[in-house]
Structure 1
Amino acid sequence: MTAPRAALSIILAFALVGCGGGGSSAPPITGGVSPTPSPTPTTSACSLRAQQDFADSVLNEWYLFPNLLANANPASFNALQDYLDARVAPARAQSRDRFFTFATSIAEENALISSGATAGFGIRLFYDTSNNRVFVTEAFEGGNGFAAGLDRGSEITAIGTSSANLQSVATLMASGGPQAVVNALGPGTAGTVRVLRFVQPGGATFERSITKTEFALDPISDRYGVQVLDDGGKRVGYLNLRTFIIADAATQLRQAFGQFAAQGVTELIIDLRYNGGGLVNVADTMGDLMGSGRIGQVWSRTVLRPSKAAENETRLFESEANAIAPTRIAFITTNASASASELVVNSMIPYLGDNMALIGGNTFGKPVGQFGFDLEACDLRVRAVTFQTVNANDQGEYFTGLASVVPNTCRAEDDFSRPLGDPSEASIATALDFLGGRSCTAIGQSAAGDIASSGADAPQRGSAVIDLPETEALRPRRPSPAQIDIPGLF
C-alpha cells in the first residue's frame, strides 16, 4: 500500500492519564489491513471485539515498533482505547508512544480539518502546576469567551452552572485535580452554559455567563499573528502559528511570508509555544516558505518499520512564490509544542545550525507520527504510530524534547501578563536577544542534561540554568479531535 506524504499526520500527544494525541490529513489509509466493512453493519460488525480485531490488524502490520507490542486479552477491556493503551504499553514505557496511538471518530476529525471550527468557549487554559491556578493563555477571536472579556492573562477563579453554585478553582483542584476543573467546565457541545468568575490582568474581577458555540480556529491571529518588529533599526519577522491541523493554515502561512518577503525580512521569531502539531503537508509548506535557494534539497525523511521500508519517503524543498531565505531563526516553544512543530524546527537544523535557537522551554518530544486506518461503517479511525521523521542529517531522536538536539537554547518565561506579539513579552524579548547576539541562559532538560545557549557571553554547556514555574495545558482524559491538536482548548 502506498502512503503518500499528504496522508501522514504528526500530532501532539500529551501524557495525562489516558489522553492521547493524533490528527488527520487527507486522505487517511483505509485499505490493506482489514476487509472492507459492509455499508450497513450489523451490531456484531461494530462490536468492541470487532473493533479490537481491526486495531490488532493495524498494529500487527503497521506499528512502527513491532517489538514493543504487548499481548493483551481483548475480553479484559471495556473500551477500545484501553485495549490500545495496553498493546502499546512497552513503547510507552520507553517514551516512544506516550498515548500517540488512539481511536477517534472519522466524521469529527474530518470536520475539524475541513471546517476549521469546533465548539467551546474559544479559549486555551493552562494551569500552574505548583499553585493550581488556571489561566487563559490565548483567546480565539470568534469565541464567546473573548467576547465576554477573557483573554491572555485572565485567571479563572470559579466555575458553576449558575451564580448560585460557583465552585472555586482552588476547591476543585484540591478535591479532584485538573480533571475536576475540566469536569466543571462541562461538555464541549454547542449550547453548554457555564458561569465563570475571572480576574483580568489589570485586576478587575468579572462574573459572566458564557455559552459554548461553534467558533473558527483561526491558525494565525489577525490581532498579533504576523508582525514586523523593529529591533534597534533591524526588521525582525514575528509569526505566531496556533496550529497545523487546519488546512487553511497553509494559505495563511503563504500570506504571512509574503509580508516578510515584501519588507526584506531575513531574521525570524517563529512562535510555536502552544502548537501541538497537525498536518504534515502544512509543515512542509512552512519549510518551503523558508527554503528560498534550497529547492531540491532534503527537507525531511519519513521512515517506517523495516517491513514497510518501501513506503519510506524523502521530501525535498519545493518552490513557493513567497519564500524567503532566513539567516537566523528563534523558535519559541514550551512543553505544549509537539509533532509538526518539532518537525519544522528539526528540519531547519542542517541549514541554520548555530544561527537558530530554541527559546522558552523544552518541547514535548514527539518525532513520530500516525497514519489513519478507517473502519468506515463504524465511524472508527485508528491512529497508530507508523513512522518517524528525520532531517537531512538523518537526525530524529528527540523523544526527550528538542533541547537535546538544537544547537542553542535560551530559557524564558511564558509571560501571561503581556500580549502575544509584544516585544517586551519575556519569550519574545529573549528571542530578540538571541537574534541580536545578546546573552541568554540555557534551557534545562532532565533527560539529556543542560543545553547551552549562544550569543555574546553566553553560558557554556553544563552551566547553571534558571528554574521557572511550570505550567501545563488543561486537558480532558479523552480529548476531542480539536483538543488533541490544540493544547488547552475549551
Structure 2
Amino acid sequence: MKKSSAALRYLLCAATGVALFSCKKKDAPSDPVTPDNNQYVNDWIYQSMKSDYFWTDKLPASPDRSQDPETFFYGLLNRPDDRFSWIVPDYRTLVSSLNGVVKEAGYSVTLFLFDQSKLGAQIQYVKRSSPAEAAGLKRGDVFWAINGKEYTYASGADVDVFLSALEQNHTLRISKIIPGADGRDSSTAPGNPIQLTVQEYAENPVYLDSVYEINGKKIGYFMYNFFTPDKGDSSLLYDNQMDAVFGRFKAKGITDLVLDLRYNPGGDSRSMLNLGSNIIKGFSPGKVFYRREYNKAIEDEIVKDYGADFLVEKFTPKSNNIGNQLQHFVVLTSSTTASASELLVNGLRPYMQVYLIGDTTYGKNVGSWTIYARNDRRNSWGLQPIVTKAFNSEGNSDYTNGFPPQQVLKEGFRMGVLGDVKEPMLYAALTHILGVAPARMAQVQAPARSTLRKVGASQQRRAYANQLIEQKPGQ
C-alpha cells in the first residue's frame, strides 16, 4: 500500500484481528515527545485517521491540535460504535510483545472481588520452565495482596494497576481453596512469602494435548492459549508443534475434538489459518475462511495494489487435517476468548457444527491498523484505529456481543487440573460428546455455591489480545 509519509508499519488487529505489515529497516531512536510537539504529532494522527479510519466521514472537522496526543486521539473516535481504537506512546513496546515475548514471572491470573471492593487473584495456569513453575505455583492458587499490599477496585484502571504490579519483581503469599461441606468455599491462611523474579519469557501457546478413549470413542483435547507461529524468529516452531498435535490425533484415529480456547485472546492470522485448516470438514482449495472489508478508499487502494484476493482468506491443505473423521467439535470459551479465536469459530461454522461450552466470548468483529512513523525522532506514537471488519463465507459478522455458548459453564474457585477428565469444563465437553456422564469415571466435583465476581484477567495486558496478525503480501 502506498503512503506519502515515511515508511509505516501496519498491524491489522481484527477482532477479528491485526495485520502486520513488516519492514526490515532498523529503527532510529525517537526523542521524547514534549508538549510543544503536540501539534506535529496530532497533525500526523489526524492525517492517518482521515486516510484509514473505518468511520473517516465521522471525524470532527477542526479538532483542537494543541492537546496531548492521547487526549486528541480519543476525541476523534466515533462513539459509541468505536469502543476498540487505541493509542500507545511508544510503538516498539507493542511490536516487541506481539509474539508472546515479554517480561513476566510466568503465570496467568483471573482477578475477582472480595470484601466487596478488594481485588484478589486466582492462577489460571502456570507456564512451563518459568520462574512461577520453579517457585511451585499451581493452578487454582489464590493470593490477596502483592508485596504485602492489598488493592481496591473501583474501575478497570485499578485492574491495570494490579496486573502491572505482577510485571515487576514481586512477592506473594499463596492461599489454597478449601471446598466446604455446605457447598461454599473458604481458603487457607496465606502461606510463607514466595519471591518471584520477572524475566524475558517466550510463552509457548501449544499448552496441552491428550487423547481419551472412553465408551468406544477416541476424543482429542487441545489447549491453545494464543495465536503465534513462533517467537518472532520465522522458525514456525509453534505452528509446527500444532501440526504435530494434529498428526498425533490423526494417527490415533480420534472421533471427536475438544478445543480449549478459554484463555485465548487472539493473535497471528497465520496460526489461526493453520489451526482452522487442520480442523475444517470437507476441505477443498477454494473454501473461504473469511473476507475483510475496509472503508471504500482503502479497499479500492488494496485491490489496486494487491488484487481482490487480498480481501479473502482461504483454508490451506494440511496433511494432518482431521475434519472428516470428527463426529463432534466442541470449543471451550470464556469472556476472554476473543478476536482470532472468535474468527476461528465464525469461519468454521459454515462448514461444520461448532458446539460452545463456557461463557459468552469477548465480542470483537472489527479490526485496526497499528500505524507508526519510521525514523521520526519527533514521533514515537503508535495508533490502532479501527479500519476493518471480517465476515465468514456466508457473509456473517454479527458477534459484536460475543458468541453465547450452547452450554453455559463459568469457571469458579474449584478449577480442577487442566487435562484431567474431572476438570469441570472438560468433563462437560466429554459428557456432551458421549451423551451421558463418562462411564468408569469419578463424578466431577459438585459446583460450589460460592460466587466469584470476575473483573479482569492477565490476557487483557497482552499485546496480542484482540488481534489477528497478518503479513503484508509479498513479504
TM exceeds 0.5?
A: yes
- Equivalent position of 1:392 in the other structure: 393
| Alignment coverage as a number of residue pairs | 417
- Equivalent position of 1:433 in the other structure: 431
Question: Are 1:276 and 1:341, in contact at CA under 8 Å, matched by a contact in 2?
Answer: yes
Instruction: State how 1:63-462 maps to structure 2 within 5 Å.
Output: 63-70=53-60, 73-75=63-65, 77-78=67-68, 80-90=69-79, 93-94=80-81, 97-103=82-88, 105-113=90-98, 116-129=100-113, 132-160=119-147, 166-167=148-149, 169=150, 172-173=151-152, 179-180=157-158, 182-183=160-161, 192-201=168-177, 203=188, 205-221=191-207, 225-245=208-228, 247=230, 248-291=237-280, 293-295=282-284, 296-310=286-300, 311=302, 313-325=311-323, 326-352=326-352, 355-377=353-375, 378-403=379-404, 409-415=406-412, 416-437=414-435
State the secondary structure of the residue aligned to 1:81.
helix
State the secondary structure of the residue aligned to 2:226.
coil
CA gap 1:88/1:198 in 2 versus in 1, 3 angstroms: same
Q: Percent identity?
A: 21
- Equivalent position of 1:457 in the other structure: none
- Equivalent position of 2:473 in the other structure: none
Distance in 1, matches of 2:172 and 2:166, equals: 15
Gaps of 5+ in 1: 14-21, 31-37, 161-165, 440-465
**How far 1:43 moved relative to its partner?**
7.4
Question: Are 1:390 and 1:396, in contact at CA under 8 Å, matched by a contact in 2?
Answer: yes
**How far 1:237 moved relative to its partner?**
1.1
CA gap 1:49/1:278 in 2 versus in 1, 3 angstroms: farther
- 1:27 equivalent in alignment to 2:14: no
- 1:57 equivalent in alignment to 2:41: no
Question: Are 1:173 and 1:181, in contact at CA under 8 Å, matched by a contact in 2?
Answer: no
1:72-122 CA deviation, whole Å, 9 max, x = no partner? 7344632x33332221141xx13xx323433364433333345x4210121
Q: CA RMSD in A?
A: 3.6
- Equivalent position of 1:453 in the other structure: none
Question: Are 1:113 and 1:246, in contact at CA under 8 Å, matched by a contact in 2?
Answer: no
Question: Are 1:9 and 1:278, in contact at CA under 8 Å, matched by a contact in 2?
Answer: no
State the secondary structure of the residue aligned to 1:133.
strand
Pick the structure with more helix per residue. 1
Question: Are 1:339 and 1:366, in contact at CA under 8 Å, matched by a contact in 2?
Answer: yes
Question: Are 2:120 and 2:145, in contact at CA under 8 Å, matched by a contact in 1?
Answer: no
Question: Are 2:338 and 2:465, in contact at CA under 8 Å, matched by a contact in 1?
Answer: no
- Equivalent position of 1:461 in the other structure: none
Question: Are 2:357 and 2:429, in contact at CA under 8 Å, matched by a contact in 1?
Answer: yes
- Equivalent position of 1:455 in the other structure: none
- Equivalent position of 1:9 in the other structure: 12
Give the residue type in structure 2 aligned to 1:9: L
Gaps of 5+ in 2: 4-8, 179-187, 231-236, 303-307, 438-448, 469-475
Question: Are 1:127 and 1:472, in contact at CA under 8 Å, matched by a contact in 2?
Answer: yes
Distance in 2, matches of 1:2 and 1:76, equals: 29
**How far 1:481 moved relative to its partner?**
2.7
State the secondary structure of the residue aligned to 1:173.
coil
**How far 1:177 moved relative to its partner?**
6.1
- Equivalent position of 2:305 in the other structure: none
- Equivalent position of 2:463 in the other structure: 481
1:350-398 CA deviation, whole Å, 9 max, x = no partner? 111xx32111000010011222322112444322211111111110121
Distance in 1, matches of 2:240 and 2:46, equals: 38
State the secondary structure of the residue aligned to 1:365.
coil
- 1:48 equivalent in alignment to 2:43: no
Question: Are 1:70 and 1:89, in contact at CA under 8 Å, matched by a contact in 2?
Answer: no
Give the residue type in structure 1 aligned to 2:111: Y
**How far 1:427 moved relative to its partner?**
1.5
Give the residue type in structure 2 aligned to 1:142: S
Give the residue type in structure 1 aligned to 2:121: V
Higher RCO (C-alpha 8 Å, min separation 6): 2
